[in-house]
Chains A and B, each alone.
Chain A
Amino acid sequence: MANVVKHVKVSGFTEYLRAVQQYKDSSLHLFTLFTGSLDADGKSWCPDCNKADPVIEEALNSAPECTCVITAYIDRPTWKDMNNNFRKSQDIQLTSIPTLIKVGTEKRLEEGQCAKLSLVQMLLEDD
């Protein structure tokens, strides 16, 4: 990756919360990508996530240096459980994956939007 954006990868809700705690008060612009977990070949069980992943990677290459992205992997059984913590959490209220949010704001991109470079860039570059 050309740029020095910080990219943290976690699995599941507890690890996600811990990562947010760790970075949210830093001077970094904190984002989270909620996405489907990967199999042994590095492919996600979620087709839309596979489409978004390379686009987000590309956008991160030119993202501002103060960017920090947490990728939170969610496995299929967890996601299919309608009562999972990601859906239930008042702060996140996740309704689809992939979803890319700017933590602490109302700015988010969902599903197909995450696969559009210009939209991902707008989210990452917005002040």
Chain B
Amino acid sequence: MFRVQVPDQDAPDMERAHDFNFDLAVLGGGSGGLACAKEAAKHGAKVVVFDFVQPTPLKTTWGLGGTCLNVGCIPKKLMHTASIYGELAEDAQLYGWNLTKNSHDWDRMVGNIQNHIKAQNWKIRVDLRDKNVTYYNEYATFVDKHTVKSVNKRGAERTVTADKFVLAMGGRPNYPDVPGAQDYAITSDDIFSLKYHPGKTLCVGASYISLECAGFLNGLGIDTTVMVRSILLRGFDKDCSEKIGGYMEQCGVKFLRPCVPNKIECVKEATDSSAPELRVSFTQNGEEKSDIFNTVLFAIGRKPLTDKINPGAIGLKYDPNGKIPVTEEELTNVDNVYAIGDLLNAPELTPLAIQSGRLLAKRLYAGSKILTDYVNVPTTVFTPLEYGSVGLSEDAAIAKYGEENVEVYHTKHTPTEQVVREASALEGYNYAKLICNRADNERVVGLHYLGPNAGEITGGFGLGLIMGATKSDFDRLVGIHPTSSEVFTTMNITRRSGQSIDVEDC
């Protein structure tokens, strides 16, 4: 459909090729949806965003902004930081600071984090209003391919029509089919605003979310156990994933593995200020066991909210796991309906959701041709030993290029700031690895880093990978001394050589 470009969004009568209420309706006001809506409005489109959070079984709910701001990246990184501060406080004493070690105040941390989030919720609303994007705090479902019906928390309904739709509903955590799970357990949707100290905690799952939560809880001095059915961090580099688990174990996190939960029973109910007492029955290595925990957190995967928007009304095609197949232009099988962010078969990451939303809006309303590049997206797992990676894992590289073509350069490293630490079992986990394709001039196809500031380091090197850097380019680069990132400029031990990678003195 041809539509006229309108340069000025304040122009009273925008010339439109349709009679719908809006040019664009966005379902979901999270990372992707908001980015898309604001960009579209900037180019003159009349846009509406629907965002509504269905409360968790424990009635937790939150404001505008989606998963990342409210129950994802942001509170997660802040709690990770809280935990790292505990570690640094130990180091600080070795650097001469006289600190008395105080216990951690859960309520104060949660209060400050939630205040930040609430301020951001509000800023987003101001921003939308300022940019002339209509926002309805209502849950939207399709009536037909140009119409949605939406409902607010009081049950009031509204019908809205639009020329085009962008689906950006994101996903929510899965609960297992285990008695008591929905009644007594929590997920990442609850932990960041938990009114009481979690007490002894069981994190179920081997996802990055499970390990990150276990990592920061343990770092805050909480008795923490992780229950895992098989491998850690499926899809990430195996070698690095096992090192993360090993390091967490050295930090005091307990692992039950291989292990699955069977039942959760309440021994003592939660109150507003205290965690419940829960008996968890599980099968570990074929043996039936049980233990008491105060908090059980399931992080066993997430599911897109695709089936909740009445997709049948528009004949939307999607996979049984809720993911929506799209073209490289993020178009679904319905010709006026697009999908972005966590709904896609792509890494579930905020910057990717934002990128896909923005670029889509530019293509729809500003004549752009630029597509989102879903390859070589850098990512970081904020476990106590942080893990950054961009490109392929070792296994994926071997599968793609063949074992004989894959050259792995790797090394251990010691971050300078840690040299004051006394010898401990935590040493030797900082690690870096470059995976190269010998058949293509040793082009770097995977970069992996375990150690402090992984996100800061990996983000920058991502540029090298998307530009096609080879191992000799990394050698050409002069590192910054003394930093951890310089480890990538001096790598000379290949896995093939069998040489030891224990750290040498500088």
Contacts and interface: CB of A to CB of B under 8 A. Distances in A.
A106 B115 contact: yes
B129 A118 contact: yes
B126 A106 contact: no
Interface residues of B, number: 9
Contacts of B122: 105-108
Contacts of B119: 106, 108
Contacts of A122: 125-126, 129
B130 A116 contact: yes
A67 to B, nearest CB: 18
A109 B130 CA distance: 12
Interface in A95-127: 105-109, 113, 116, 118-119, 122
Contacts of A116: 130
B411 to A, nearest CB: 46
B43 interface: no
B129 A119 contact: yes
Interface size class of A (residues with CB under 8 A): 10 to 19
B126 A113 contact: yes
Interface in B96-122: 115, 118-119, 121-122
A4 B125 CA distance: 27
A102 to B, nearest CB: 9
Listed residue (A105, A106, A107) with the most chain B CB atoms within 10 angstroms of its CB: A106
A109 B126 contact: yes
A105 B121 CA distance: 11
A119 B119 CA distance: 15
Contacts of B129: 118-119, 122
Contacts of B115: 106
A76 to B, nearest CB: 28
A31 B129 CA distance: 20
B128 to A, nearest CB: 10
Contacts of B130: 113, 116, 119
Nearest to A102: B122
Contacts of A119: 126, 129-130
B132 to A, nearest CB: 9
A119 B121 CA distance: 14
Contacts of A113: 126, 130
Contacts of A106: 115, 118-119, 121-122
Nearest to A109: B126
A105 B117 CA distance: 11
A108 B130 CA distance: 14
A47 B115 CA distance: 31
Nearest to B117: A106
A81 B126 CA distance: 29
Listed residue (B115, B122, B125, B130) with the most chain A CB atoms within 10 angstroms of its CB: B122
A122 B129 CA distance: 9
Nearest to B125: A122
21 contacts: A105-B118, A105-B122, A106-B115, A106-B118, A106-B119, A106-B121, A106-B122, A107-B122, A108-B119, A108-B122, A109-B126, A113-B126, A113-B130, A116-B130, A118-B129, A119-B126, A119-B129, A119-B130, A122-B125, A122-B126, A122-B129
Interface of A: 105-109, 113, 116, 118-119, 122
Please give me the 3 A-B residue pairs with the lowest Cβ-Cβ distance, nearest first. A106-B119, A106-B118, A107-B122
Given A105-B118, A106-B122, A107-B122, 12 more contacts: A105-B122, A106-B121, A108-B122, A109-B126, A113-B130, A116-B130, A118-B129, A119-B126, A119-B129, A119-B130, A122-B125, A122-B126
